[in-house]
Amino acid sequence: MFELDIDMLKEQGMQLFDTAKKTAQDIADKGKNQLELLNQQARLSKAQRQLGALVYSLHKAGEENQPLVDKYIDAVAEVEKTIEELKANMTPEECAACEPEEEEQFVVDEPAAPAEEAPAEEEIEEEPIKLRGETKTCPVCKAEVDGDALFCNHCGAQL
């Protein structure tokens, strides 16, 4: 008959186990990196929406608050930097798997109809903008702010 070399089988089994363990760890790490990239991309989108809402609300109120706008711009830049750092540690295929769907582009079209056919301004009802409907209180000035705001739009404190 043939003899079983227990030590050789044990050694091969350990090598297979180590290989499988390393492969599983690599897959888990890639998944964690992709999840973190997706989270940061969502955070970037949220910060950009908040910046746009802030600029719009300031413009609409005829106010200026450049320090607050700068804080939002810095927050956006910080998230963009984090995203670039994450992408630097990933393969192009991994990055492509995490790319967000193409976002809606805002295009200003020329009016198709003459100005006299445009609806009168009083006919257009304006609804207040609500980002999420949730609010929270600023710990510094106690103002009510949007629930997903990064900074208070009254005093500029980081939330």
List, for residues 126-145, the tens digit of each pLDDT value.
Answer: 344 444 467 889 898 998 88
Q: What is the pLDDT of residue 44?
A: 93
**φ/ψ of residue 145, rounded to 5:** -130, 165
**φ/ψ of residue 37, rounded to 5:** -65, -45
Non-local CB neighbours of 136 within 8 Å, separated by 6+ positions: 144, 145, 146, 147, 149, 159
- Burial grade of 55 (CB within 10 A; 0-12, 13-18, 19 or more): middle
Compare 128 and 6 and report the one with higher pLDDT: 6
Q: What is the pLDDT of residue 90?
A: 86
pLDDT for 18 beyond 60: yes
pLDDT digits (tens, 9 = 90+) for 35-59: 999 999 999 999 999 899 889 888 8
Q: What is the pLDDT of residue 128?
A: 43
pTM, 2 dp: 0.54
pLDDT digits (tens, 9 = 90+) for 111-129: 444 444 433 333 434 344 4
Q: What is the pLDDT of residue 84?
A: 93
Conformational region of residue 133, where left means phi above 0, alpha means psi within -120 to 50, and beta covers everything else: left
Segment 1-22 shows an average pLDDT of 86
The half-sphere exposure of 15 on its side-chain side, counting CA atoms within 13 A, is 6
pLDDT digits (tens, 9 = 90+) for 61-114: 888 889 989 999 999 999 999 999 999 988 888 878 777 665 555 555 544 444
Compare 127 and 18 and report the one with higher pLDDT: 18
